[in-house]
Structure 1
Amino acid sequence: MTLAEQLNQDMKQAMKSKEKDKLAVIRMLKASLQNESIKLGNKNLSEDEELTVLSRELKQRKDSLQEFKSAGRDDLVDKLKVEIDVIQAYMPRQLTEKELEEIVKTAIKEIDATSKKDMGKIMNTVMPKVKGQADGALINKLVQKHLN
């Protein structure tokens, strides 16, 4: 089942069970996917392109969550947490920190990286392998940790 089909099915279910928050997030995801499809000029997005859209939407909400927490906007924090949970349901399984650490160590060995100057090369090697399965900030932190 494609992501679009899954979203349609979940949207119908959310309508029937009157889950307004979930329905709003699903509609937003469908709109984002549609906009990306129009932007790229293809009728159907590949799984990789769909994952890119989902990752972007998730990252936007996580960034906003931090801003709202620091501003003391608890009403918006709760709303964003619900949105993040719904989006994460459509994301692939997230890698654990240990799994990421192994990938980072392997990339450092492959590139023969020795200093922080090689950080870009390592990130360019690691990110395609873990696309949608890990947060870029965590990967960045792990790379810095292992380059010291």
Structure 2
Amino acid sequence: MLRRLLDSMFGKAPAHAQPGANYVYKIVPHSSVNPRYNFPVPIPASHTFVLSELDAKDGFLHMSRAAQLAGTLNRFFKDDPKVVLLKMDYGRLSGFKIVKWEPSGSGEIFPHLYAQLEGENVEDHLDLEKKPGETSWDAALERARRAGWLQD
């Protein structure tokens, strides 16, 4: 009990809730869909990413493991033709920021960042785009995985 209390105070997730991710991802609307999410490239270390309305309301940044991206994209970004994936090294991010693994409404465990996301935390980014005729994000994610960009 004391261990869980200390872990929750200092941002450590219980071992059962941390699914062994090497990378976590933040999905950001592409600036062509919503100019509010425009950011400079290369991303300066000091750049602070804009919070979505949902992130601001919930008090944390919603993130996903690679295996969770398809579900998140197909649920919340199904009508967007293009998004940006921000890739973060989980070990590095959680070493400096509070990342908690918490259940969503469906009970699936997702990483949540309880801090601002800055450029120094982002290892890489990818413009992910659906090709004409694609109605889900599955094929676009498979292309990113085959290219070696999308990693667990």
- Provide the TM-score with structure 2 as the length reference: 0.23
- Provide the TM-score with structure 1 as the length reference: 0.24
Q: Which has the higher helix share?
A: 1
Greater relative contact order structure (CA < 8 Å, 6+ sep): 2
Q: Which has the larger radius of gyration?
A: 1
Q: Which has the higher strand share?
A: 2
